[in-house]
Amino acid sequence: MTDASENKGLDAQGEVGVVIVAAGRGARAGQADGPKQYQRIGDRAVIAHTLEQFLSHPKVGPVVVAIHADDRELFERAAGAHAGRVLAVIGGPSRQASVRLGLQALRERAPAKVLVHDAVRPFVDAGLIDRTIEAIGEHQGALPSLPVADTLKRESADGMIEETVSRAGLHAAQTPQGFPFWPLLAAHEKAHHLGKTEFTDDAAIAEWAHIPVKIVTGSPDNFKLTWARDIAMADQRLSSALPRFPDIRTGNGYDVHAFEPGDHVTLCGVAIPHDRKLSGHSDADVGLHALTDALLATCGAGDIGTHFPPSDPQWKGVASKIFVEHAAKLVRERGGRIANADITLICEAPRVGPHREAMTAALAAMLGIAPERISIKATTNEKLGFVGRGEGIAAIATASVIYPGEVPA
Ligand SMILES: Nc1ccn([C@@H]2O[C@H](COP(=O)(O)OP(=O)(O)OP(=O)(O)O)[C@@H](O)[C@H]2O)c(=O)n1
Ligand SMILES: C[C@](O)(CO)[C@H](O)COP(=O)(O)O
């Protein structure tokens, strides 16, 4: 459970505890693969978003989450690192029962105030939490709500309109609903003992127990995920905003091969007639070797020698295409998408220009990306050094890959 050290969890009147109810089955949302609080929206589960809002709030102290007995694993997986910062208790057969059990788990800690929130309202924000906490008095609860905007109709048993109901003074209730801790716990326990189980929110129990409740301004964003379409809408909203810190990685590679007697060189997958060949264990395609290293570098997967040791006879004379395709496969297995690849060949001869198009097409096929995402350039070394003396060919390569998720903080 979170602790209240260093003033965290304290407001002017004392500690603020939180009960998040997450034990429902989500029958109306009808998700086949688990209750709505564990559905993924954006990059995390609904409940992870909700927990984050409370756990990052400076006035929030101990947090209890009421979960269903069948959902322990789901909860721990969905809440991730947050799971260790809250107390998970088993909820009851109704929201009301889950709230009571959550409040009872806070009894020992006895915070001055308590907020009760639906796990399935992931768009609660710090301002709303603040407004609610501030409005809680020693003998008064606080309810965020919005005035009803639509005209209201009562339906008759035969599906016709029976009457138009005035919306004057009507509000749609949201959570978190805030209360002084002891009066709310007492009201819940009394209702339980009297078998009163009809309350759909805590403000209704407070009303029954004569605890005055003040309205604070809710937030239109703080909607409850009730139906499947609400989950889809929440996901769309978050996904369109993501990612804020996209995980774009760049890798580079460098390789050199010396000339030896022969009649062609293979560069970027294309055989080019020449008066010598490049020496090497494989086909010595220096451009593809540099690119293989660049791709592997984007996911920390070692280098070409790690995967294809020159000491291994099975790679003797093979086309270097298989090295690049292997590296691209490792990238894809990690969810990566290759954004572009850029190779510079450094040689006095042969001339690369006439083969550039064929090289680009070959690389596009190896990487499974569009040709315009590939750049192949060549330069001489101005007759300087080993390249300038025509002793061999060097290549440098850069690859950019976008991986799923965000760069961790
Ligand atoms: N026995 C229950 C029932 C509901 N809740 C929680 O109360 C919140 C609001 O309830 P609702 O939207 O009605 O959720 P469900 O009960 O899961 O939905 P449904 O009624 O469609 O089954 C949710 O966070 C839900 O997990 C709970 O903790 N315990
Ligand atoms: C608590 C609540 O979210 C306030 O609007 C609502 O009452 C929950 O009701 P439901 O019947 O469980 O959807």
Can you give the pLDDT at residue 1?
67
Whether ligand 1 lies within 6 angstroms of the CB of 24 is answered as yes
Helix (H, G, I), strand (E, B) or coil at 114: strand
- The best mutation among 36, 95, 123, 230 to test binding of ligand 2, ranked by most ligand atoms within 8 Å of the C-beta, falls on 95
Domain boundaries, the chain: 5-241, 246-406
25 lines ligand 1 (CB under 6 A): yes
- Fold of the domain spanning 5-241: Spore Coat Polysaccharide Biosynthesis Protein SpsA; Chain A (3.90.550)
**Residue 381 annotated as binding?**
yes
pLDDT in tens, 131-147: 999 999 999 999 999 99
pLDDT tens for residues 205-217?
999 999 999 999 9
pLDDT at 310: 86
Residue 292 marked in a binding site: no
According to the model, what pLDDT value does residue 240 have? 80
Q: Give the residue, by CA position, lying nearest to ligand 2 atom 11.
A: 200
If you average pLDDT over every residue of the chain, what do you get? 95
Per residue in 65-105, pLDDT (tens digit) is 999 999 999 999 999 889 999 999 999 999 999 999 999 99
Q: Is the per-residue pLDDT at 242 higher than 80?
A: no
| CATH topology (fold) of 246-406 | 60s Ribosomal Protein L30; Chain: A; (3.30.1330)
**How many other C-beta atoms lie within 10 A of the C-beta of residue 107?**
10
Which residue in 326, 332, 302, 330 sits closest to 314, CA to CA? 326
Decide the pairing of beta strands 152-155 and 14-22.
Answer: unpaired
| This prediction's pTM | 0.66
Is 40 annotated in a binding site? The answer is: no
Closest ligand 1 atom to residue 66 Cα is 28
**Residue 174 Cα, ligand 1 centroid: separation in angstroms?**
14
Residue 12 has pLDDT above 90, yes or no: no
pLDDT in tens, 13-25: 899 999 999 999 9
Closest CA to 226 of 25, 15, 384: 25
Q: How many CA atoms lie within 13 A of 12 on its CB side?
A: 7
The residue nearest atom 10 of ligand 2, judged by CA position, is: 200
For 307-342, what is each residue's pLDDT tens digit? 999 889 999 889 999 999 999 999 999 989 899 999
| Ligand 1 binding pocket includes 122 (Cβ within 6 Å) | no
Determine if ligand 1 sits within 6 Å of the CB of residue 226. Answer: yes
Q: How far is the CA of 172 from the centre of ligand 2 (A)?
A: 10
CA 278 remoteness from chain centre: 47
Angle, nearest 10°, between helix axes 286-297 and 356-367? 40
Q: Is the CB of residue 252 below 6 angstroms from any atom belonging to ligand 1? A: no
Annotated ligand binding at 255? The verdict is yes
